[in-house]
Amino acid sequence: MPKKRPIRHAWLGLALAVATLAAACVQEKARATSYFSDYTPFDIASRAAFADYRQVVGSYLRQKRGQAGSQACVVGLTRGSRDTDVTWVIWRDGDRLIRWFAGENNLELSSRNLSLTDDVVPTDADVGSSTYLVSRPWVNELEPLCAAHGQRVTTVQ
């Protein structure tokens, strides 16, 4: 009777591949229910470091868009103390996601001036160990927070 090891090994390999794929899917969904569950939105106009948001963001939009009208959303998030404040500028028209650091008055110089096309990857796993990239689910959660709690900055033609 011929040995059936090759078939057994094939089934073992298939089972291992399925288990690996299932584990990857579970890990992707095993994260906290919200990326921002530890954060509370704050009114950026109430913080001295961001109170001139209309001027700073408007200047950036005009610098990049010239006379063409554009719109961005600015949202502040905090974990409680002011040293945990983070402020994001979402500018869909300009394909930008910018972390606005306290004390900056030129968003062009931000160390976190991301392209919504090139620097946003499909999953958390794709971010890997990068300290620069962000995931699409993260951005998809930030945008409604900005719409609900952020400030709109609009430049007109």
Rounded percentage of the chain residues whose pLDDT exceeds 90: 71
What are the CA-CA distances from residue 15 to residues 24, 28, 108, 123 (Å)? 14, 20, 50, 25
- Find, among 141, 40, 138, 137, the residue nearest to 84 by Cα: 40
Q: How many whole angstroms separate alpha carbon 39 and alpha carbon 77?
A: 6
Q: Which residue has the higher pLDDT, 18 or 98?
A: 98
User: What is the domain partition of the chain in residue ranges?
Assistant: 1-30, 40-155
Give 27-65 pLDDT, tens digit per residue: 445 555 899 999 999 999 999 999 999 999 999 999 998
What are the CA-CA distances from residue 34 to residues 39, 56, 76 (Å)? 10, 29, 16
Backbone angle region of 83, left / alpha / beta, with phi > 0 → left and psi within -120 to 50 → alpha = alpha
Q: How many whole angstroms separate alpha carbon 50 and alpha carbon 55?
A: 10
